């Protein structure tokens, strides 16, 4: 039990089960075709956001990308733009969780999990080239105006706090060197996000190489000094 808890201690979306659960927990009350349409629209939104950016991701563009005849269709399936964006993030987190979690939990050491976290996160770029860029766009443009989005942002904050706590534990266990764990978490997140953003535009970037390099980088940065 303890082992399993520690095994996933760096997973980005650890806290997501309560907040970002599939369809926000309302999936039971949705028809099959309704769920399919929502998924289709969310997919189109991810493509548009990744390609054209958050600002240009209007309902009109998303509807066109999804092959829908009108924007009314989107408003019919989502209660508003915030709702759609929440679902976009939820979809990305679900995909990322499914991909990253087993790879992280397979590692036995803290540094192994850190490497798995970084490499599997960036490896997602090959499997789902639009998912992470879209999420970075959405988060970059979210302000805490709407109450529902405020709760959303708070959940993401909680994830960061958890990661910081896990990293501190690894330090105390002697697996990492001395450093401010919060700054380290922010640096990792920022480095990954920056790389994701660039990779979305620059096809020359090879995710495999970059992932490994980035993992090496942060392994050196977290290593104990005397080694």
Residue choice 36, 39, 56, 161 for contact with its own copies (CB under 8 A): 56
Q: What is the x/- site pattern for DNA, positions 42-61, by CB under 7 A?
A: --------------xxxxxx
Q: Give me the least distance between CB of 144 and DNA, in Å please.
A: 16
By the rule CB under 8 A, 80 interacts with its own copies: no
Residue 137: both structure tokens together: 């766009």
Buried b (16+ CB within 10 A) or exposed e, 132-141: bbbbbbbbee
CA-based angle 97:103:109, to the nearest 5?
120
The stretch near DNA (CB under 7 A) out of 8-16, 26-34, 103-111, 206-214 is 26-34
Our finding on whether 26 is near DNA (CB under 7 A) is no
Is residue 141 a contact residue for DNA (CB under 7 A)?
no
User: Which of the listed partners (DNA, its own copies, none) does 179 bind, with a CB threshold of 5 to 8 Å by partner kind?
Assistant: its own copies
DSSP state of 203: T
Structure tokens at 181: 């764990």
Nearer CB in complex with its own copies: 7/186 = 186
Question: What distance in Å separates the CA atoms of residue 46 and residue 68, rounded to the nearest whole number?
Answer: 15
Radius of gyration of the chain (CA): 18
Residues 6+ apart with CB under 8 A from 172: none
- Which C-beta is closer to DNA: that of 60 or that of 109? 60
Distances from the Cα of 4 to the Cα of 100, 107, 176, angstroms = 15, 11, 19
C-alpha triplet 6, 8, 10: angle, nearest 5°: 100
Q: Which does 81 bind (CB under 5 to 8 A by kind): its own copies, DNA, none?
A: DNA
Q: Which of 183, 203, 207, 208 is in the footprint of its own copies by CB under 8 A?
A: 183
Write the CB contacts of 126 (distance below 8 Å, at least 6 apart in sequence).
207, 208
Residue 129 and residue 49 in contact, taking contact as beta carbons nearer than 8 Å: no
Quick one: what does residue 127 bind among its own copies, DNA, none, with the CB cut-off 5 to 8 Å set by partner type? none
Q: How far is the CB of 59 from DNA (least distance, A)?
A: 3
Q: Which residues bind DNA (CB under 7 A)?
A: 30-31, 33-34, 37, 56-61, 68-82
Q: Which residues bind its own copies (CB under 8 A)?
A: 52-56, 137, 140-141, 143, 177, 179-180, 183-184, 186-195, 197-198, 209-210, 213-214, 216-218, 220-221, 223
């Amino acid at each position: 039990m303890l082992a399993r808890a520690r095994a996933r201690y760096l997973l980005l979306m650890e806290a997501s089960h309560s907040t970002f659960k599939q369809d926000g927990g309302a999936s039971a009350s949705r028809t099959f075709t309704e769920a399919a349409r929502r998924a289709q629209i969310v997919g189109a939104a991810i493509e548009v956001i990744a390609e054209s950016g958050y600002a240009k991701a209007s309902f009109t563009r998303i509807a066109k990308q999804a092959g829908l005849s009108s924007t009314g269709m989107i408003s019919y399936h989502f209660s508003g733009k915030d709702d759609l964006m929440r679902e976009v993030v939820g979809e990305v987190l679900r995909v990322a969780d499914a991909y990253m979690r087993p790879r992280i939990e397979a590692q036995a050491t803290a540094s192994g999990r850190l490497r798995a976290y970084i490499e599997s996160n960036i490896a997602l770029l090959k499997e789902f080239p639009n998912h992470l860029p879209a999420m970075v766009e959405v988060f970059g443009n979210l302000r805490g105006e709407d109450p529902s989005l405020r709760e959303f942002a708070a959940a993401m904050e909680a994830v960061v706090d958890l990661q910081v706590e896990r990293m501190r534990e690894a330090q105390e266990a002697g697996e990492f060197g001395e450093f401010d764990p919060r700054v380290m978490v922010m640096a990792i997140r920022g480095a990954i996000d920056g790389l994701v953003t660039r990779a979305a535009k620059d096809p020359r970037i090879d995710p495999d190489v970059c992932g490994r390099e980035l993992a090496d980088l942060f392994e050196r940065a977290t290593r104990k000094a005397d080694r």
